[in-house]
């Protein structure tokens, strides 16, 4: 593959140039990251950021993550980086970890929903970082899906639901991690709080900085909203979804869609009587399951034979925490 500039394949150069132009002129660019596709705008331009909320039909009280090309850029946006945050940046950036830090005034209120803090991360995706670098501005980006619906992990997923709302999709291929970033609040002088489990596990964070507090890590947060963006219903398919702890023959009829962590004898023997079976990882590997999760959920949601989705809960360790969190929220409206 021919390369141009900083490792960008020649085939993508034209769309990258165009995407940079769109961002600089206040437009919306959807772009691939290692977690999910983001719907990006210049984070320093309130009007551009307002278009994100309109495109997604997202409530204004749900703040956005600001994406940077380089870890050092964080100092232009925040007033303080506690030691622990610095250790996490060294260890996990670029990567699926968003840090909530005290913000500088240059960030519009719309980005942070008026909060005194801003969430920042450096995506582990070359094309995404090149887009941000060449644009010359920090890029505010929520996941590129209509508010509350299933997150997109391919460019096609974005096109399926937001084609009319955005100026351009920069195709970065399928997302490697497949789950959103972990959001960790780091108020100086306070114990870090995990606001959303995600691509970097709690165990990995604690190995670096010691014990952290958890807000929604149990995957059972059905209560009222305790922090922005923690709405119980989120990542939701249009069809009802029910979480099961094990497979039972009585569930598996022709209108059932099955979202299974791994293989199971019942699923092997009954596929013809079941609407659709999605097995996330043949070896029950959480990393592989995470990468397939949102795509599989979309296929079940789109299959006309499926009327109800049964989803198997995940082990409560590692990425299983984030996966259970997404399942619980997907099930919340059922
Ligand atoms: O992996 C990801 O994080 C993806 C990609 C595109 O980077 N982005 C993403 O954004 O998932 P979004 O908007 O779907 O979720 C961002 C969440 C919000 O729901 C909110 O809970 C939290 O980050 N957040 C953002 N700013 C915050 C702040 N200042 N304080 C507390 N939480 C904040
Ligand atoms: Mg989202």
Q: Are residues 267 and 182 in the same domain?
A: no
Of 162, 195, 214, the domain-final residue? 214
| Residues 236 and 333: beta-carbon distance below 8 Å | yes
Is the model more confident about 201 or about 231?
201
What is the CB neighbour count within 10 angstroms for residue 21?
15
Q: Which atom of ligand 1 is nearest to the CA of 196?
A: 21
Answer yes or no: do 54 and 180 share one domain: yes
Residue at a domain's end among 214, 231, 266: 214
Question: What single-letter DSSP state applies at residue 34?
Answer: S
Average pLDDT of span 3-30: 81
DSSP string, 250-307: GG-STTEEEEESS--HHHHH-GGGSSEEEES-TT--HHHHHHHHHHHHHHHHH-TT-S
Does the pLDDT at position 4 exceed 60?
Answer: no
Q: Within this chain, do residues 150 and 249 fall inside the same structural domain, yes or no?
A: no
Q: What's the CA-to-centroid distance between 326 and ligand 1, angstroms?
A: 14
Shortest-distance ligand to the CA of residue 153: 1
pLDDT tens column, 281-298? 999 999 999 999 999 999
Percentage of residues in the chain having pLDDT higher than 70: 89
In the predicted structure, residue 43 carries a pLDDT above the cut 80: yes
Q: Quick check: 136 pLDDT over 70?
A: yes
Lowest model confidence (mean pLDDT) among 7-21, 169-183, 248-262: 7-21
The strand order across the sheet containing 241-244 reads: 241-244, 308-312, 256-260, 276-279
Q: Is residue 236 part of a domain?
A: no
If one counts the domains in the chain, the total is: 2
Looking at per-residue confidence, does 228 or 45 come out higher? 45
Mutate to test the pocket of ligand 1, among 39, 49, 65, 235 (most ligand atoms within 8 A of CB): 65
Judge contact between 139 and 116, C-beta under 8 A: no
**107 domain-assigned:** yes
Q: How would residue 272 be classed by pLDDT, with cut points 50, 70 and 90?
A: low
Q: For ligand 1, which residues put their CB under 6 angstroms from it?
A: 33, 35-36, 38, 62-65, 96, 98, 100, 112, 115, 117-119, 141-143, 180-181, 183, 185, 195-196, 227-230
Rounded to an integer, the average pLDDT of 194-221 is: 84
Is the model's pLDDT at 78 over the cut of 60? yes
Could you identify the residue written with the tokens 């699923």?
267
Atom of ligand 1 nearest to the CA of 144: 6
Tokens standing for 292? 């397939």
For residue 13, what pLDDT is reported? 67
- For residue 252, pLDDT beyond 80: yes
**Average pLDDT rounded to a whole number, residues 64-74:** 98
Q: Does 178 reside within a domain?
A: yes
Residue 226 has pLDDT above 90, yes or no: no
* Residues 247 and 113 both lie in one domain: no
Domain assignment present for residue 143? The answer is yes
Q: Which two tokens stand for residue 234?
A: 């989120």
What CATH number corresponds to the domain at position 120? 3.90.870.10
Ligand 1 atom at shortest distance from the alpha carbon of 121: 7
Q: Which of 166, 196, 214 is at the close of a domain?
A: 214
- Segment 266-279 shows an average pLDDT of 76
Domain, as residue range, for 15: 10-214
């Amino acid at each position: 593959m021919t390369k141009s500039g900083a490792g960008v394949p020649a085939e993508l150069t034209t769309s990258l140039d165009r995407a940079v132009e769109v961002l600089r002129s206040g437009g919306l660019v959807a772009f691939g990251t290692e977690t999910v596709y983001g719907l990006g705008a210049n984070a320093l331009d309130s009007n551009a950021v307002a278009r994100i909320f309109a495109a997604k039909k997202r409530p204004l009280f749900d703040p956005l993550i600001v994406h940077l090309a380089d870890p050092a850029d964080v100092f232009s946006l925040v007033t303080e980086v506690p030691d622990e945050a610095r250790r996490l940046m060294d260890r996990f950036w670029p990567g699926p970890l968003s840090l909530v830090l005290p913000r500088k005034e240059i960030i519009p209120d719309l980005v942070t929903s008026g909060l005194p803090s801003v969430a920042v991360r450096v995506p582990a995706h070359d094309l995404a970082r090149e887009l941000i670098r060449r644009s010359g501005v920090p890029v505010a980006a929520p996941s590129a899906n209509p508010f509350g619906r299933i997150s997109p992990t391919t460019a096609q997923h974005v096109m399926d639901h937001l084609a009319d709302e955005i100026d351009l999709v920069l195709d970065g291929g399928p997302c490697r991690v497949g789950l959103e970033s972990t959001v960790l609040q780091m108020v100086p002088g306070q114990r870090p709080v995990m606001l959303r489990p995600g691509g970097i596990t709690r165990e990995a964070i604690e190995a670096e900085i010691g014990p952290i507090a958890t807000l929604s890590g149990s995957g059972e947060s059905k209560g009222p909203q305790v922090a922005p963006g923690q709405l119980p219903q989120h990542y939701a398919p249009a069809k009802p979804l029910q979480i099961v702890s094990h497979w039972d023959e009585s569930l598996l009829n022709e209108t059932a869609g099955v979202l299974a962590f791994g293989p199971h004898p019942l699923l092997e023997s009954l596929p013809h009587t079941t609407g659709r079976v999605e097995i996330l990882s043949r070896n029950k590997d959480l990393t592989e399951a995470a990468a397939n999760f949102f795509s599989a959920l979309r296929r079940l949601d789109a299959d006309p034979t499926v009327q109800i989705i049964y989803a198997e809960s995940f082990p409560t360790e590692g990425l299983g925490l984030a996966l259970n969190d997404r399942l619980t929220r997907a099930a919340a409206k059922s």
